[in-house]
Amino acid sequence: MKIVIDTNIVLDTIGKRQPFFKQSRNVMQLVAQRKMDGAITANTVTDIAYLLRKHIGQDSIKTALRNLMDMLAVLEVNRSLCLKAFDIPITDYEDALLAACAQHWKADYIVTRNCKDFAGSPVKAMVPKDFLKQFQIFPGK
């Protein structure tokens, strides 16, 4: 199975953001344990670096991003995918671009806390709780 992980899931995990941390971490652990393939987009990497700069130092950001990229594939964002995102019926361009990348990579799911933002996505979006429950992974957690 292949999943594309939205920025909010990564930030929940790195920042231990409550009440989202446990389920987001469990999704990330599935990828770390090689139970499925996970990916983020290249622009997610820059978004995370930008958002973390207020909270942790540059060395910590580099370490976090290196660890993340050791675990997850980084999907290319190119001209073709940027143009394709315009044709996906999602209002937020960044989400449309993530959906275009997920479709190009042939992902099975996008894991996000904002499923409503991906209503027009060609790849089904699921919140971590539902994703974990559907596949009976970490039941009850």
pLDDT in tens, 21-65: 999 999 999 999 999 999 999 999 999 999 988 888 888 889 989
d(CA 94, CA 43): 9
User: For the segment 120-129, what is each residue's pLDDT rounded down to a tens digit?
Assistant: 999 999 999 9
The CATH classification of domain 2-134, taken from the options 3.50.50.60, 3.40.50.1010, 3.30.70.2190, 3.40.50.620: 3.40.50.1010
d(CA 37, CA 1): 6
| End-to-end CA, the chain | 21
pLDDT band for position 1 (cuts 50, 70, 90): very high
pLDDT band for position 137 (cuts 50, 70, 90): low
**Of 85 and 135, more confident:** 85
Assigned token pair, 19: 């009440």
99 touches 90 (CB < 8 A)? yes
d(CA 38, CA 4): 6
Please say if the pLDDT value at position 141 is more than 80.
Answer: no
Q: What is the pTM of this model?
A: 0.91
User: For the segment 63-119, what is each residue's pLDDT rounded down to a tens digit?
Assistant: 989 999 999 999 999 999 999 999 999 999 999 999 999 999 999 999 999 999 999
pLDDT band for position 140 (cuts 50, 70, 90): very low
d(CA 68, CA 18): 20
pLDDT of amino acid 135: 75
Residue 137, class by beta-carbon neighbours within 10 Å (0-12 exposed, 13-18 middle, 19+ buried)?
middle
